[in-house]
Structure 1
C-alpha cells in the first residue's frame, strides 16, 4: 500500500475535503428522546469542561468521563475544549447551540438501495447503544456519500445538530482526486464577507468565468438590530433619568441578548453558505485597519464603535474553524468606494447604492454591500491576505481580537452612560 505522503520520490495525490450534508428522516418518539439526551449530555459536558478551564486532553477527560456519552463524543470534546480554553479560540464564553461532535468513525453509513429511503446513519448515543436513523442525502453530494460508504473517501469529524425542528448530520470527508494537479486541488474560492450596518452581513463570490454569483444579504437582520439598538439607547436613558439603574441594566441585557441571538444565527448561515461552495475560503476585513480608520464624527463614531463589527467578525471566524473552513483577512481600504468591475472609484449616493464614476464602465448603479463583498474577495484573489495566525503577533497592546464574546471592549455591548 502506497502511503498518502510523499515516499521515495512519489508525489502525494491531491486531496479534497468536503462537508457532507444529511438530514435525518422523522425519528420516532424514542429516537427523538435519545437524540435530545445525547445533545443535552454533550452540552453539559462541554460547559463543565469549559468552566473547569481544561487546557489539556487529560484534564478534559477527567471531567467528561462522568457523562453518559459515547467515546466518540468524549474524544471530540477532548480535542475541542483545550482549543477553547487558551488554545486556538481562547474563548471567554460559550454560545448555547454547539453541535454534538463525534470523532472519525463515530458515525456509520448503510445503504439499502431497494428501500424508498435508501440511506441510513448510525449515531452513537453512548458506548453500548446506537441509533440507526434513515437520512436524506444532498443530491449534489451523492457520489461523495457513496465514496465514503465504499471506503474510497476518509470520514472525519461529524456534527449532529437540530435546526427548525429537524435533525441534521454534517460529516467531513476527504477524498483523493485523481487526474488533478496539486495546484488546482489547492485552489480556493474566495467568498467576500462585508459586515455593515444596513445589511448586517453580505457575502458573494465569483464563478469560474469571473462573474459575481449568489450574493446573499442579511438586510432584514440589519434593520432588526438597528431597531433593537435604538430601543436600547432610548429606553435605558429614560430609566436612568428616573434613577432606575438596576432596571435599566436588566432591560439592556435582555435587548442585547436578542441582538446576540441574531448575530449567532446570521454567522451560522454565513458558514452554511460557505459550505455550499467548493473549496471555500471566507475573506474578512482586517479589524486592525477598521479600528484605525473609524473617525466619522462623534455621532457616527458612537454608532460604529457600538456596532458589532468585531463580534460578528469573530463569530464567523470560530464557527468557520469548527467546520474546517479557512478564514483570511485583507485591508478594507476603499473596498466600499471601488467599482468591482473596472476598479475606478465611485461613491454611494444612498447607503445601499454604489455608483461608478467611470462613464465607460457597464456598472452605473450596483448594490453597495455586494460591491464591497466582491472587492473583499478580490483582495484575497490578488494575493493580499493576512492569515489570522500570522496576525496574532501584530495585535496592538490592549486589543482583544479573541474568539471570546467576539469583541474589543469598545465594539461590544453599548454602554448605558
Structure 2
C-alpha cells in the first residue's frame, strides 16, 4: 500500500497554544532522553512517566514516545535526542471537517482540542478520504519549522495495480535532468533553466555574503529550494502521466545511494549534484507512480552509460551527451541510451 505524508500547517495558533506546543516538545524530549538511559525501558509502560516527572502529560504521547525510543535503542540509532516531537497514532488524532474548514484534534497538556489547519486543494482530497474511511492514518507528528507549527500526517491507501506491461527507464543527469524511455518513445527535461537559476542565486548570495547579510542569504536559499521543489513536482508529474498514457507497469530508476562519490570532480559533486536534489525528484516520481498503481524498481547504475545495444561496453563510447559505439558505430543521445539500459536493468536490480 502506498504511503504519502501530508504536511498540514496549523492555522494561526495563538501565543498561548504555541507556548503549550513548545512546552510539550521540551517535556517529551527530556523524557525520551531519560528513557534512553533507563535500564527497564524495554518493559516500560505509560506508568513509567511518574518516575520521570509529576507533571501532567498525555498518556497517548507517552506511549508513542516509549515505542519510538525502544525502536531507536534497538537499532542503536540515537545516543541523545535533540528534539523528540510529540506524536499521535491513528486512535489519538482525529481529522474532521466543519463547514469549509478542516480540523485535527489531539491530546494536549490540559485537554483534547480541535485545531484548524491550512489545507491546500490537493490536501483536501486526501483529508476527505480519511474522513470517508477510504485512507488510513499513520502516526502523526507535531513539529515546528521556520516559526510555524505543522502536523505531519502519513496516509496509506489502496490503489489498483497498473495492467500495463511496458517498462520505463529514467536516467537522471545534469545537462538533462531526466530522460525517460519507453520502447521507441522518449521524454527529455533539459537542465539549462535549472543551471541558470542556480548560478543566479549563487551570485546573489556571494554579494550578500560580502555585505554580511546572513538573514538575506538564508531567505535566498529557502527561495531557491522552493523553486527547485516545484520544478521537481512538475517534472515528476509529467513523467508519471507519460508512463500512464503509454501503458507502463514498471518504472526503473538508477540507485542514487553513491551518486556523490560517482561524480567526476569535486566541483561537480559539490555545486551541481548537491544543489540539485536528484533524490527529491526520484522520491516524487516514486510516490506519484505508486499512486497510479505503477511499480517502481531500483537499478544498479553500473555500466548503463557505457554499454551499447549490441552488448559492447567501453568507457570511450560516451562523450558528453553523444554516445557512439566503438565496435558497431551505433549512435544515440547518451542519456537516452542510459535510460534504455536502465529499463533493461543490464546491471541488475538493487535488492
Q: TM-score, normalised by structure 2?
A: 0.57
Match of 1:216 in 2: 187
Matches within 5 A, 1:232-251: 232-251=201-220
1:75 is aligned to 2:44 = no
Deviation at 1:65, TM superposition (A): 4.4
User: Displacement, 1:81?
Assistant: 6.3
Tell me the residue number matched to 1:271: 240
Q: Is the 8 A contact 2:168 2:248 kept in 1?
A: no
Structure of higher CA gyration radius: 2
Paired residues of 1:286 and 1:330 also in contact (CA < 8 A): yes
Q: Which runs of 5+ in 1 are unaligned?
A: 1-44, 87-91, 93-100, 104-155, 158-171, 175-184, 207-212, 392-417
Q: Does 1:201 align with 2:178?
A: yes
Q: Secondary structure at the match of 1:347?
A: helix
The aligned counterpart of 2:252 is 283
Alignment partners' CA distance in 1, 2:165 and 2:220: 45
Return closer, same or farther for 1:377/1:71 CA change in 2, 3 Å cut-off.
Answer: closer
Secondary structure of 1:63's counterpart equals strand
Is 2:349 aligned against 1:378?
no
Partner Cα separation in structure 2 for residue 273 and residue 310 of structure 1: 20
Question: Cα offset for 1:232?
Answer: 1.8
Q: Tell me which residue corresponds to 2:96.
A: 64
Which residue number in structure 2 is paired with residue 42 of structure 1?
none
Distance 1:338 1:173 in 2: 32
Q: Distance in 2 between matches of 1:81 and 1:271?
A: 24
1:271-304 superposed Cα distances (whole Å, 9 cap, x missing partner): 111111224211011122434x434232122122
Counterpart residue number, 1:47: 8
State whether residues 249 and 294 of structure 2, in contact with CA within 8 Å, keep that contact through their aligned partners in structure 1: yes
Question: Whole-Å Cα distance in 2 between the matches of residues 79 and 319 of structure 1?
Answer: 18
TM-score by length of 1: 0.49
Q: Deviations over 1:230-257 (max 9, x none)?
A: 1122210121111111112212222222
CA–CA distance in 2 between the matches of 1:72 and 1:294?
A: 39
Summarize deviations over 1:198-249 as a string: whole Å, max 9, x none.
111110022xxxxxx1111011xx1111111111222101211111111122
Inter-partner Cα distance in structure 2 for 1:72 and 1:228: 33
3-state SS, counterpart of residue 193 of structure 1: strand
After TM superposition, give the deviation of residue 64 of structure 1 in Å: 2.8
* Count of aligned pairs between the two proteins: 235
2:265 corresponds to which of 297, 306, 314:
297
Q: 1:287 to 1:246 in 2, by over 3 A?
A: same
Q: What is the Cα deviation at residue 173 of structure 1?
A: 8.7
For the residue of structure 1 that corresponds to 2:302, the secondary structure is: coil
Assess, with a 3 A threshold, how the Cα gap between structure 1 residues 255 and 372 changes in structure 2: closer, same or farther.
Answer: same
Matched with 1:228 is: 197
CA contact (8 A) 1:346 1:356 kept: no
Equivalent residues of 1:286, 1:331 under 8 A apart: yes
CA RMSD of aligned residues (A): 3.6
The runs of 5 or more residues in structure 2 that have no matched partner are: 1-5, 11-84, 103-123, 146-154
Please tell me whether the aligned partners of residues 294 and 304 of structure 1 are also in contact (alpha carbons under 8 angstroms).
Answer: no
State the partner residue of 1:191. Answer: 168
**Residue number in structure 2 paired with 1:351:** 320
Q: Is the 8 A contact 1:349 1:355 kept in 2?
A: yes
